[in-house]
Amino acid sequence: MSEKKIPYKIYLEESELPRAWYNLRADMINKPAPLLNPKTFEPATAEDLAPVFCDELVKQELDETTPYFEIPEEILNFYKMYRPAPLIRAYCLEEKLGTPAKIYYKFEGNNTSGSHKLNSAIAQAYYAKKQGLKGVTTETGAGQWGTALSMACSYFGLDCKVFMVKCSYEQKPFRREVMRTYGASVTPSPSFDTEVGKKINAEHPGTSGSLGCAISEAVETALNKDGYRYVLGSVLNQVMLHQTVIGLETKTALDKYGEKADIIIGCAGGGSNLGGLIAPFMGEKIRGEADYRIIAVEPSSCPSLTRGTYAYDYCDTGKVCPLSKMYTLGCDFIPAANHAGGLRYHGMSSILSQLYDDGLMEAVSVKQTEVFEAAEYFARIEGILPAPESSHAIKVAIDEALKCKETGEEKTIVFGLTGTGYFDMMSYEKFHNGVMTDYIPSDEEIQKYTKNLPEIK
Ligand SMILES: *Cc1c(COP(=O)(O)O)cnc(C)c1O
């Protein structure tokens, strides 16, 4: 048998770009629970969601039967500027680890936003433009989503208002300037521009903000401004749908070389990159065509899957967004201030929550010092400077490769390298100076917010 030598980078042809996003819900046996209207607690209808989200995106959000959504030509053309993204065989890392495992990573950091977020930003901006809107509002934590959305909005000539979690606004002034370069306006959150921001500022003077609170501000602004809608960079079904380009490309690339993944690993904040990466593989698993071990990696300081509760909760602190059934730490949960590495959302995609609850995937949590150790180790061998978020996946990929070294198993490990870490140098600096600490919330702290989850009959 002649084996094709696998190159360091598997690039696909432009013609091999996915033409449609894959809607995993169509294949799920237990469908994710519906979003609930925050006022009535009834399943949210398209009419409920229309004031907040773009019409086409509402359709995608609620559709659990259509398996494929064709990618419009305009989005495909934008994708062509930075996709297909390479699938990289980590030969150097394998050698350094002395593992018989094969390690692959899908690199999504090849665009100015520095992450996979652009895959959904461009789709959401496109549908907003098509609907004739003037602009969109959003929140950003670490800044990648805000940057991606700014890029997408400037491409389609839309106004873009970003509420940036105050601590990262202050820590990452360059992120803010990148967004302004693309024409976005950036407001630190909580601000005094919205009712919910004023309220949060009054209740928690000097607070450094949270994603949940920035979301509330962005939603309020969209509701009060004619021709504006709110867009979100993670958690929602529509976002995961757009992110399936990651997994579809990965599968095409592996198939090209007759490779089959055994273990698929991704970091999980709101779950969009992981959901997108695993979707086609999970589809095969659900349909009984193949089996894979799928591992979500989250920070031990914000452990929604591993220590959260599976229940309906608000998606935002201000309780203006619909409720989602998900693994949650409670919508008032704010990760400890020393937590550096993104992935700080209190909940998780309802699709991934259901899959996890059904035992179709695993989850582990890792401490941030070990994440940065893995990040630095990886950077020194593979060259890419990884985002702290992505490095959660690196850490577990290395752990799995080392297990293979012990057992002699030649497993194929695929992980998502979601982005680059150039704007996270303050965190790297803390790590290098030996002042980075780990924080693991106690059971009491976890229960503090989960014991007050809304009661849904
Ligand atoms: C936003 C982000 C994540 C986490 O978001 P998900 O929706 O869980 O994918 C991971 N990595 C990078 C680089 C990000 O910007």
Lowest-confidence region among 95-104, 225-234, 244-253: 225-234
CA dist., res. 397 & res. 388, Å (int): 14
CATH class of 49-54+116-230: alpha beta
Place of tokens 């004023």: 198
Of 244, 277, 389, 395, which is best to mutate to test ligand 1, by the most ligand atoms within 8 angstroms of its C-beta? 389
How far apart are the CA of 408 and the centre of ligand 1, in A?
Answer: 32
pLDDT over threshold 70, residue 2:
no
The Cα 278–Cα 251 span in angstroms is: 9
Residue among 144, 150, 348, 351 whose CB has most ligand 1 atoms within 8 A, to mutate = 144
Q: What is the CA radius of gyration of the chain?
A: 21
Look at the block and give the residue holding tokens 């670490």.
142
Side chain identity at residue 142, one-letter code: A
The closest alpha carbon to 39, from 54, 31, 28, 51, belongs to 51
Instruction: Give ranges for CATH 3.40.50.1100 in the chain.
Output: 11-19+71-114+237-450, 49-54+116-230
pLDDT for residue 397: 98
CB 384 within 8 A of CB 115: no
Looking at residue 221, what is its pLDDT? 96
Read off the pLDDT of residues 198-216 as tens digits, 9 standing for 90 and up: 999 999 999 888 888 898 9
Rounded distance between C-alpha atoms, residue 231 and residue 121, angstroms:
8
Domain 11-19+71-114+237-450 -> CATH class: alpha beta
Distance, CA of 17 to CA of 219 (rounded, Å): 33
Report pTM: 0.96
Average pLDDT of the segment spanning 3-12: 87
Q: Is the CB of 299 under 6 A from ligand 1?
A: no
CA 29 to chain centre: 24
CA distance 245 to 193: 37
What confidence tier does 1 reach under pLDDT thresholds 50, 70, 90? Answer: very low
Indicate whether residue 250 lines ligand 1 (CB < 6 A).
no
Question: From the CB of residue 158, how many other CB atoms can be counted at a distance below 10 Å?
Answer: 23
CA of 169 to the centre of ligand 1 (A): 18
pLDDT at 168: 87
Chain centroid to CA 272: 4
Which atom of ligand 1 approaches the CA of 109 most closely? 13
Give the contacts of 302 (CB within 8 A, at least 6 positions apart): 329, 333, 335, 339, 343, 344, 345, 346
Query: For residues 101 and 406, is the Cβ–Cβ distance under 8 A?
Result: no
* pLDDT (tens digit per residue) in 353-410: 999 999 999 999 999 999 999 999 999 999 999 999 999 999 999 999 999 999 999 9
Q: Is the CB of 269 under 6 A from ligand 1?
A: yes
